[in-house]
């Protein structure tokens, strides 16, 4: 009975020990699965860390920097600020968009080239000169400015008309540049040069004849010149003879038949106004002389003053007796000079005023070195309220008057050759007649080219017009003056003159606004950097000439495709260098392409990793505790097993001894 109980206990312990071993094996298997799970979670986290998207850094048309996922579109998009890249397939052909390919094909089918290709993108080589922004409005007034700075109105032209003149369109047969090559322009220049040469020859002969007639040995010029210019004269009577000599010279020229000097000649009139007493010139009276002239008087109503010739200011004031007194001020008086004033007459009823102004200067005698006072007197007569005053100059010093006469001799000698009527010297001089005919022939050619023969006009009117043109022959020095003259005198210019006129009008325009500047513009966007855009699409066109392939729209916008294609060598990259040459490059070497990690995805993966690893650690700790408990229980069962087995063994041994 006792032995049977021990054996039953031993079997129970053995069963429990086997169960513990099974449980221990199961837990160890679970711990092994935790290691596998830990590797999986770690791998997912590492994949998230290693997962990056290729990004493209470029600029939009406004120059704003932007980051986009790398795609064919972002890689090859145009901006004047972008570097130019391209994708090349295994056959060495450049991948291009469907739109670029369509433009290229259309140009080639029409037999076009680069310019037509650029036009597809709104690029046009033109000038923005002919616009209201540049020329200040429409129509444009054309002004000719001569060498003296005088402005001459040549009329107004529309901007379109000026553009047509320049380009040779819409009724203008030649462009501005082509007009210079026309026979009409060449003839105008040649005829004018011939006229100048004939004119110079004619003038030389006239000058030679003039010199003989006016300054030759038998004219008395040298004797009088030496007397009045090279000798000091103190006698007013002698000086009067000098004035008379010059006066007679001018009048003899005016009274010759034909007149050698017109009586209407302004230069001659200005000289006679000084030489001829009858015309207000110098009048001699014993030991002094006078000359009379007119000066402007300006009244200032703010202060009640009168100013004569911007030199003398007169201020009337009323005294205690109710009478009018006058004060005088000399403006810009010479340094060292003093002024004195004497009212010689004033009529309150007629407001007529006369006064003498004396300017006194201290001089030094050149021989003795002694100082003396030199007075210069002027007598003014005016009517207050009127705008002119009569001024009488008193010459009481013969030296001062001789100085005036010397100046008149010089002015006559230097100016007469340019003022005389040349035809008055021709009669009886075969050489002069030949020179005149040569000049007239050259002038007629010039007139015929510019105005025609005027044969459609009545003879009297025709002759009048011809005489008018010949009298103003200086207009041919500049075509702009011809245009102005024709407008003012109702004359029509010839068709042969049109290229010359075209050049003249445009030259006047350019003198004011500058020469037209040509360049590329983007007709679709005037603010665009057209030059940069032209270079971009020129580079594209040149590369497409070497071969191209079209990329589908879907692939062109795909980030996944381009990453896969670049990483696996399906496509390679080319970049345009500083010499506008396409060169191969590695995408990993391009600074505009970067790899960017998805921070949100990494954060999510990190959270999941930490959570999973915490669960694995907790399970592992629990499994370790369970194994420890199993091991403790196993040790206890092993001890009990050994004890029970010992008891059984002893019982068996005793039983054998009893029955042996």
pLDDT at 54: 81
Mean predicted confidence (pLDDT) in 12-26: 75
Does 151 have pLDDT greater than 80?
A: yes
E strands, 283-386, where? 283-285, 288-300, 305-308, 312-318, 324-330, 338-347, 352-364, 371-383
CB–CB of 6/647 below 8 Å? yes
* DSSP codes, 400-418: HHHHHHHHHHHHHHHHHHH
- Tell me the torsion sign for CA atoms 519, 522, 527, 531: negative
Q: Looking at residue 385, what DSSP letter applies?
A: T
Mean predicted confidence (pLDDT) in 644-655: 73
- At 450, is the pLDDT very low, low, confident or very high (cuts 50, 70, 90)? very high
332-355 tens-digit pLDDT: 888 888 889 999 999 999 999 999
Backbone angles phi, psi at 542, to 5 degrees: -65, -40
Least confidently predicted of 170-179, 228-237, 439-448, 598-607:
598-607
Sorted by where each begins, the domain ranges of the chain are: 2-49+602-658, 52-127+520-597, 288-395
pLDDT at 553: 86
pLDDT at 1: 46
Beta-bridge mates of residue 201? none
Return the SS3 of 38.
helix
Quick one: three-class SS letters along 551-603? CCHHHHCCHHHHHHHHHCCCCEEEEECCCCCEEEECHHHCCCEEEEECHHHHH
CB–CB of 595/55 below 8 Å? yes
Does 432 have pLDDT greater than 80?
A: yes
How do the residues of the chain divide into helix, strand and coil, expressed in percent and rounded to 5? 55, 20, 25
**Cα gap 360→377, rounded to integer Å:** 9
332-366 in b/e burial notation, b at 16+ Cβ within 10 A?
eeeeeeeeebeeeebeeeeeebbbebebeeeeeee
**Cα gap 498→434, rounded to integer Å:** 33
Does 136 have pLDDT greater than 90?
A: no
371-417 tens-digit pLDDT: 878 888 999 999 998 999 999 999 988 988 999 999 999 999 999 98
**Cα gap 7→644, rounded to integer Å:** 8
Residues 6+ apart with CB under 8 A from 266: none
E strands, 384-470, where? 388-395
576-603 tens-digit pLDDT: 999 999 999 998 888 888 776 555 655 7
Does 308 have pLDDT greater than 50?
A: yes
- At 197, is the pLDDT very low, low, confident or very high (cuts 50, 70, 90)? very high
Q: Return mean pLDDT, the chain.
A: 86
Does 124 have pLDDT greater than 80?
A: yes
Does 36 have pLDDT greater than 80?
A: no
- Is the pLDDT higher at 361 or at 629? 361
Paired tokens of 69: 């996922």
- For 108, half-sphere exposure in the C-beta direction (CA atoms, 13 angstrom radius) is 9
Least confidently predicted of 58-72, 111-125, 467-481, 491-505:
58-72
**Cα gap 165→504, rounded to integer Å:** 11
- At 160, is the pLDDT very low, low, confident or very high (cuts 50, 70, 90)? very high
């Amino acid at each position: 009975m006792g032995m049977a109980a021990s054996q039953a206990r031993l079997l129970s312990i053995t069963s429990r020990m086997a169960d513990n071993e099974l449980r221990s094996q199961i837990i160890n298997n679970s711990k092994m699965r935790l290691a596998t799970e830990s590797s999986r979670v770690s791998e997912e986290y590492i994949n998230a860390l290693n997962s990056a998207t290729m990004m493209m850094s470029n600029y939009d048309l406004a120059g704003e920097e932007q980051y986009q996922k790398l795609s064919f579109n972002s890689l090859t998009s145009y901006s004047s600020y972008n570097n130019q890249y391209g994708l090349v397939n295994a056959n060495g052909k450049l991948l291009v968009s469907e739109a670029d390919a369509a433009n290229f094909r259309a140009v080639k089918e029409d037999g076009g080239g680069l310019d037509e290709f650029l036009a597809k993108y709104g690029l046009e080589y033109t000038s923005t000169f002919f616009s209201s922004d540049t020329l200040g409005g429409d129509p444009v007034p054309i002004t000719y400015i001569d060498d003296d700075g005088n402005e001459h109105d040549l009329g107004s032209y529309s901007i379109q008309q000026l553009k047509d003149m320049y380009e040779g369109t819409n009724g203008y047969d030649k462009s501005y540049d082509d007009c210079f090559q026309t026979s009409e322009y060449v003839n105008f220049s040649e005829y004018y040069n011939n006229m100048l040469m004939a004119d110079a020859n004619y003038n030389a002969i006239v000058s030679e004849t003039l010199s003989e007639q006016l300054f030759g040995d038998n004219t008395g010029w040298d004797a009088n010149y030496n007397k009045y210019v090279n000798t000091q004269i103190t006698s007013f009577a002698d000086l009067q003879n000098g004035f008379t000599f010059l006066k007679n010279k001018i009048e003899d020229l005016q009274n010759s038949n034909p007149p050698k000097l017109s009586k209407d000649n302004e230069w001659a009139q200005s000289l006679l106004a000084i030489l001829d007493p009858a015309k207000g010139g110098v009048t001699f009276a014993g030991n002094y002389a006078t000359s009379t002239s007119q000066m402007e008087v300006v009244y200032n109503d703010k202060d009640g003053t009168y100013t004569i010739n911007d030199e003398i200011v007169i201020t009337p004031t009323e005294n205690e007796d109710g009478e009018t007194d006058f004060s005088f001020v000399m403006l810009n008086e010479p340094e060292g000079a003093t002024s004195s004033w004497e009212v010689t007459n004033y009529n309150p009823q007629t407001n007529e005023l006369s006064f003498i102004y004396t300017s006194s200067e201290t001089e030094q005698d050149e021989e003795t070195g002694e100082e003396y006072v030199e007075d210069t007197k002027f007598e003014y007569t005016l009517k207050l309220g009127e705008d002119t005053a009569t001024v009488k100059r008193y010459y009481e010093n013969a030296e001062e008057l001789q100085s005036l006469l010397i100046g008149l001799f010089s002015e006559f000698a230097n100016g007469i050759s340019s003022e005389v009527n040349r035809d008055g010297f021709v009669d009886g001089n075969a050489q002069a007649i030949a020179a005149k005919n040569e000049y007239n022939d050259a002038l007629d050619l010039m007139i015929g080219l510019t105005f025609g023969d005027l044969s459609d006009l009545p003879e009297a009117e025709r002759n009048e017009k011809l005489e008018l043109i010949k009298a103003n022959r200086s207009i041919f020095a500049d075509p702009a003056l011809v245009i102005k003259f024709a407008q003012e005198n109702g004359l029509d210019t010839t068709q042969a003159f049109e290229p010359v006129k075209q050049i003249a009008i445009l030259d006047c325009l350019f003198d004011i606004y500058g020469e037209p500047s040509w360049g590329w513009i983007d007709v679709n966007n005037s603010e665009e950097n057209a030059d940069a855009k032209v270079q971009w699409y020129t580079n594209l066109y040149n590369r497409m000439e070497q071969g191209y392939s079209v990329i589908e729209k879907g692939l062109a916008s795909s980030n996944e495709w381009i990453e896969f294609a670049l990483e696996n060598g399906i496509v390679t990259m080319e970049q345009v260098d500083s010499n506008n040459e396409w060169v191969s490059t590695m995408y990993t070497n391009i600074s505009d392409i970067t790899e960017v990690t998805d921070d949100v995805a990494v954060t999510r993966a990190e959270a999941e990793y930490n959570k999973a690893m915490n669960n694995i650690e907790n399970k592992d700790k629990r499994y370790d505790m369970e194994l420890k408990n199993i091991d403790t229980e196993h040790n206890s069962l092993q001890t009990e097993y050994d004890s029970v087995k010992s008891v059984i063994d002893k019982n068996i041994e005793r039983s054998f001894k009893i029955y042996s």
